[in-house]
Amino acid sequence: MASKSSVSPFWNLPISTQKTQFYTQFPLLQQFPSSSRIFSSKLKSNSYKSISVSAAVTEESQTSPPSSSSPTSSSKLVLVVGGSGGVGQIVVASLLNRNVKLRLILRDPEKTTTLFGEQDEEKLQVWKGDTRSPTGIDPSVFEGVTHVICCTGTTAFPSRRWDGDNTPERVDWDGVRNLVSALPKSLKRIVLVSSIGVTKFNELPWSIMNLFGVLKYKKMGEDFVRNSGLPFTIIRAGRLTDGPYTSYDLNTLLQATAGERRAVLIGQGDKLVGEVSRLVVAEACIQALDIDFTKGQTYEVNSIPGDGPGTDTLKWQELFRASHSN
């Protein structure tokens, strides 16, 4: 572990210089295509509840009918923020496949057709906006919105994705704060995608992951959501696998599968360590929208080899509820 003095020069360098010099000073991280891979560990099979059934996006036949208290597809309008990202694309494709009305905020709306194909405007509305600016969102985008899924994010370490002031501070803190501050009080639920390890960013090995503040800023974003007075659910994802599915149309997204890692682990208390399929994270967000007892809760989500809950709401309810007793 590098000493504080050996790390400190980064903070005074331009981001472009940080990018080129970071892995020179931390050669260990070159081994891991995704920096958080180093935090994977063997999970005890009885530590968290898992369940068996397939998790492929296409397996709509396993979807349980919505409960009488859940909004119907016709009455629900879901705003997805970060819909062009790896998790966000799956969220959008899955909701469109359920005939849920969607609204997206994208910095570049021109990506929509490339990502999701031609869609009826009655089903998918796209607005240009940037959550990083307090004035970057037209307030009328929230008219009629009943639910929000926020799955914005950037890389933990300097990369091309940081170009254009797309750092963890700007995305995970400024962006979340600006979005939540603008949401209507009538909202039925906001689901925020965060990360495991956010409560331990000053501890090894998480402090390595947090060298540029990603875990700290995600935790700040979480806390802002909790204190907003809005009904919320926070999904902390493990290291993301599968995808990201970029530059694909809707048909391709709907054919995405989680391979062998379809079984789902859900925990609470920031104790879960491991990795998770993007498809599982997306489905966890969608399911949490309408499961009443997930309101005000924070969950860690991983996936492991085996069959999973797919889109079966009753099985997801079992998973979420079982985590409360762990």
Q: How far apart are CA 196 and CA 168, in angstroms?
A: 15
Residue 178 near residue 137 (C-beta atoms within 8 A): yes
pLDDT at site 75: 85
Mark out the alpha helices in 38-145 (DSSP H runs): 86-97, 111-116
**Range 66-81 average pLDDT:** 72
Side chain identity at residue 203, one-letter code = E
**Closest among 128, 125, 86 to 107, alpha carbons compared:** 128
Instruction: Give residue 42's pLDDT.
Output: 30
* Identity of the highest mean pLDDT range in 40-54, 60-74, 108-122: 108-122
Residues in the chain: 326
What's the chain's average pLDDT? 80
pLDDT given at position 1: 39
At residue 264 the predicted structure's pLDDT band, cuts being 50, 70 and 90, is: very high
| DSSP code for 15 | H
pLDDT of 34 above 80 = no
Please compute the mean of the pLDDT values over residues 203-212 and round it to a whole number: 91
Q: What is the Cα–Cα distance from 299 to 266, expressed in whole angstroms?
A: 6
pLDDT at residue 24, as a whole number? 37
Alpha helices in 31-175 (DSSP H): 86-97, 111-116, 168
Q: Give the pLDDT of residue 71.
A: 61
Higher pLDDT, 141 or 67: 141
Top pLDDT among 141 and 71 is at 141
The pLDDT value recorded for residue 66 is 43
Q: Could you read off the pLDDT of 89-105 as tens digits, one per residue? A: 999 999 999 999 999 99
8 Å CB contact between 309 and 55: yes
Phi (first) and psi of residue 78, to 5 degrees? -100, 125
For range 294-319, the mean pLDDT: 95
User: Tokens in use for 21?
Assistant: 């010099």
Distances (CA, A) of 107 to 85, 180, 184, 189, 272: 12, 17, 21, 23, 33
pLDDT of residue 193: 98
Highest mean pLDDT among 178-187, 240-249, 256-265: 178-187
pLDDT at residue 73 in the model: 62
Q: Looking at the predicted structure, is the pLDDT value of residue 21 above 50?
A: no
Q: Which of 5-19, 45-59, 206-220 has the highest mean pLDDT?
A: 206-220
- Better-predicted residue by pLDDT, 186 or 115: 186
Residue 286 has phi, psi (to 5 degrees) of -65, -45
Q: Say if residue 306's pLDDT is above 80.
A: yes
Q: Sheet harboring 263-267: ordered strands across?
A: 124-128, 101-106, 77-81, 147-150, 189-195, 232-237, 297-304, 263-267
Model confidence pTM above 0.85 = no
Residue 299 has pLDDT above 90, yes or no: yes
Say how many Å lie between the first and final Cα of the chain, rounded: 33
pLDDT value of position 148: 98
283, 58 contact by CB (below 8 A):
no
> Helix 313-323 and helix 278-288: axis angle, to 10°?
90
Report the candidate in 19, 38, 20 with the shortest Cα–Cα distance to residue 29: 38
Percentage with pLDDT > 70 across the chain: 72
Q: What is the pLDDT of residue 74?
A: 65
157 or 74, which is more confident: 157
Reply yes or no on whether the pLDDT at 242 is more than 80: no
